[in-house]
Amino acid sequence: MSSYHLDHLQYLETEAIHIMREVAAEFERPALLFSGGKDSICLLRLAEKAFRPSDIPMPFLNVETGHEFPELLEFRDRRAKELGAKLIVRTVDEAIAKGHAHPAPGEISRNKLQIPVLLGAIEEFQFDCAIGGARRDEEKARAKERFFSFRDSFGQWDPKNQRPEIWNLYNAKLNPGENMRVFPLSNWTEMDVWEYIKKEKLEVPNIYFSHERECYRKGGQWLPVPPPHRDATKPDPYAGARPKANEPIKKMIVRVRTIADMISTGMIESKTETIDDIIGEVSAARVTERGTRADDKASEAAMEDRKKAGYF
């Protein structure tokens, strides 16, 4: 029977394709969350595998904090175009201007402000399902989450009352106003993602590879120096997130391991030029991927709290 054998990547792939097709079959208006990051790059390939030769039967959705790496946005727009998909972008700036999102005094990170933007987009387009690239190995609250993660009409996740998920029978039933988050990569690890990118020869944004960049030390991490503020007629979007006098700037050879936005992504010193180099680095890593994410360090339950409120 050895010829009828799937290795672990093929197994994860067939599971994820099955889930993608369940979404297409069971929901009226699904969307696929695409940021341009490595996990959502895998999602796109899985969507191609699930639906080709047809078009991918759902638009792509991205929530911008306004602090994105420009390289990532360029990549995101280009990939959506290449795949012939409709890309919907909603921004925290817009939401603040419309009064839908309210920054907490003194809080520079816009991580939490993505929540009302995402919920607003779901309402605006009447999405009943959003496919995301989250993985259970990323974080321990995520480790508890289902493939089909039910959200009530306030977008909330109730971790103590999740729908049991048995065999491959996913319960997609919703009442009006409720929606589902679906995570086809739930069972993938960081290593699986990179091995899949290698196997499928997927393009990734160049910030995943080593490059020269100005960084500064903050909270035990090397943060990228934000782009200069050029348009003096507008407030500096990075106000408060620029290196202070006692945080000297250093030119370094770095890359990102995981991408949030520029003010919450720690850069790692690295000399990686190929996907193989990255795989080697990940297998030798002694800290988790999210160890470089400032947004998760807030407290032991930082992710759980955001998810309960409607986070990705």
- Binding residues vs other proteins (CB under 8 A): 1-2, 4-8, 10-15, 17-18, 21-22, 24-25, 48-55, 136-137, 139-144, 159-160, 162-169, 171, 173-175, 186-187, 189, 191, 195, 276, 279-280, 283, 285-288, 290-291, 300-301, 304
Handedness of CA 147, 153, 158, 162 (dihedral sign): negative
**Which of 29/49 has CB closer to other proteins?**
49
In terms of CB distance, is 73 or 191 closer to other proteins? Answer: 191
Q: CB nearer to other proteins: give 126 or 283.
A: 283
Distant-in-sequence, close-in-space partners of 32: CB < 8 Å, separation ≥ 6: 40, 43, 44, 47, 56, 58, 59, 60, 61, 130, 131
Instruction: Give the nearer residue to other proteins in terms of CB position, either 171 or 206.
Output: 171
Closest contact distance (angstroms) between CB of 145 and other proteins is 9
Minimum distance from CB of 278 to other proteins (Å)?
10
Rounded to a whole number of angstroms, the minimum distance from the CB of residue 211 to other proteins is 23
Task: Output the six-digit token pair for 93.
Answer: 């700036």
- Strands laid side by side in the 129-131 sheet: 87-91, 60-64, 30-33, 129-131, 179-182, 148-151
Main-chain dihedrals φ then ψ at residue 150, nearest 5 degrees: -75, 135
Cβ of residue 179: shortest distance to other proteins, in angstroms?
A: 12
CA distance 139 to 48: 28
Q: How far is the CB of 197 from other proteins (least distance, A)?
A: 13
Select 55 or 107, whichever has its Cβ closest to other proteins: 55
Residue 53: asked if its preceding bond is cis (omega within 30°), the reply is yes
Q: Choose between 159 and 227: whose C-beta lies nearer to other proteins.
A: 159
Quote the least distance from Cβ 217 to other proteins, whole Å.
17
For residues 179, 123, 120, 31, the Cα torsion angle rounded to the nearest 10 degrees is: 60
State the maximum Cα–Cα separation within the chain, in Å, rounded to a whole number.
69
